[in-house]
Amino acid sequence: MAVNLSPVFGVAAQLFNDNGDPLAGGKIYTYLAGTTTPAATYTTSAGNIAHSNPIVLDGAGRVPTGEIWLTDGITYKFVVEDSVGTLIGTYDNLTGINSNFIAYTAQQEIQTATAGQTVFNLTTMQYLPGTNNLSVFVDGVNQYGPGASYAYVETDSDTVTFVSGLHVGAAVKFTTATPVASNVANAENVAYIPPFVGGVATNVENKLAEFISVKDFGAVGDGVVNDTSAFTAAWAAADPQAVFVPAGTYLITGTLTGNFFSFGGVTISGGTVTISTDIDASGNFEAKVTPTGEGAQISLSDALLSSSGMQRGRINYYSGTEVEVIVPNEIIMGGFRFMGNYKKKRAPMYSSGVSYRAVVSNVTDLGAETVAETDNWYAVFACADDGDTDVTYKLMPFIRVGSVAGSVCTLNYGGENSHTITPATYTWGANSLAGVECLVINEGSNNRFSGRVTTITANTTTTVTLNAIGSVGAYDYLLPAPPGFDHYCYLGSFYNDSGSAPYNIADNGIMAMSYMSDNQDPNWVAAGAVAGPPGNKVMWGGYVSPLAGGIIMRSALSTSTSAGGDIYTNFSHDSSNHVIGVHTYYKNATAGTSTQMAFLNINFSIGQFMYYWVDGPLAAQRILGQIRAQGWIEP
Looking at the chain, the number of H-run helices and the number of E-run strands are: 2, 49
- pLDDT band for 288, please (50, 70, 90 cuts): low
Looking at residue 94, its pLDDT comes to 87
Spatial CA neighbour of 624 closest among 559, 535, 531, 567: 559
Give the distance between the most distant pair of CA atoms in the chain.
153
Alpha helices (H) in 53-98, listed in sequence order: none
For the segment 32-78, what is each residue's pLDDT rounded down to a tens digit?
988 898 999 999 988 889 999 999 999 999 999 999 999 887 889 99
Long-range contacts of range 417-424, CB-CB < 8 Å, 24 or more positions apart? Answer: 417/517, 417/520, 417/542, 418/475, 418/541, 418/542, 419/520, 419/521, 419/522, 419/539, 421/474, 423/462, 424/373, 424/376, 424/399, 424/400, 424/462
For the segment 402-456, what is each residue's pLDDT rounded down to a tens digit?
999 999 999 999 888 888 889 999 999 999 999 999 999 999 988 899 999 999 9
How far, in Å, CA of 634 to CA of 338, rounded? 9
Domain ranges of the chain: 1-102+182-210, 105-179, 212-286, 295-508, 536-633
Parallel/antiparallel/unpaired status of strands 437-442 and 159-162: unpaired
- pLDDT band for 580, please (50, 70, 90 cuts): very high
- pLDDT band for 276, please (50, 70, 90 cuts): low
Residue 626: count other Cβ atoms within 10 Å of its Cβ: 14
* Average pLDDT of the segment spanning 145-155: 85
- pLDDT band for 384, please (50, 70, 90 cuts): very high
Is a pLDDT exceeding 70 seen at residue 147? yes
Q: Is the pTM of this model over 0.85?
A: no
Looking at residue 179, its pLDDT comes to 57
Looking at residue 213, its pLDDT comes to 92
Q: Which is higher by pLDDT, 517 or 368?
A: 368
Report for 31-35, 240-244, 534-538: range of highest mean pLDDT? 534-538
Q: Which CATH number fits domain 1-102+182-210: 3.90.650.10, 2.170.14.10, 3.30.70.100, 3.40.50.620?
A: 2.170.14.10
Mean pLDDT of the chain: 87
Contact call for residues 59 and 14 (beta carbons, < 8 A): no
- pLDDT band for 102, please (50, 70, 90 cuts): very low
Using a 10 angstrom Cβ sphere, with 0-12 exposed, 13-18 middle and 19 or more buried, the burial of residue 183 is exposed
Looking at residue 205, its pLDDT comes to 83
Looking at residue 1, its pLDDT comes to 64
Looking at residue 507, its pLDDT comes to 92
Q: 205 by DSSP, 3-state: which?
A: helix
Residues 6+ away with beta carbon under 8 Å from 445 = none
- pLDDT band for 182, please (50, 70, 90 cuts): very low
Q: Give 81-92 as a 3 state SS string.
A: ECCCCCEEEEEE
For the segment 456-491, what is each residue's pLDDT rounded down to a tens digit?
999 999 999 999 999 999 999 999 999 999 999 999
**536-633: CATH architecture:** Sandwich (2.60)
Looking at residue 283, its pLDDT comes to 43
- pLDDT band for 300, please (50, 70, 90 cuts): very low
Percentage of residues of the chain with pLDDT beyond 90: 58
Looking at residue 100, its pLDDT comes to 54
Q: Do domains 1-102+182-210 and 536-633 have the same CATH topology?
A: no
Percentage of residues of the chain with pLDDT beyond 70: 90
Strand order in the sheet with 487-496: 392-397, 376-384, 487-496
* Average pLDDT of the segment spanning 506-518: 90
Looking at residue 531, its pLDDT comes to 95
Using a 10 angstrom Cβ sphere, with 0-12 exposed, 13-18 middle and 19 or more buried, the burial of residue 109 is middle
Looking at residue 11, its pLDDT comes to 87
Is a pLDDT exceeding 90 seen at residue 273? no
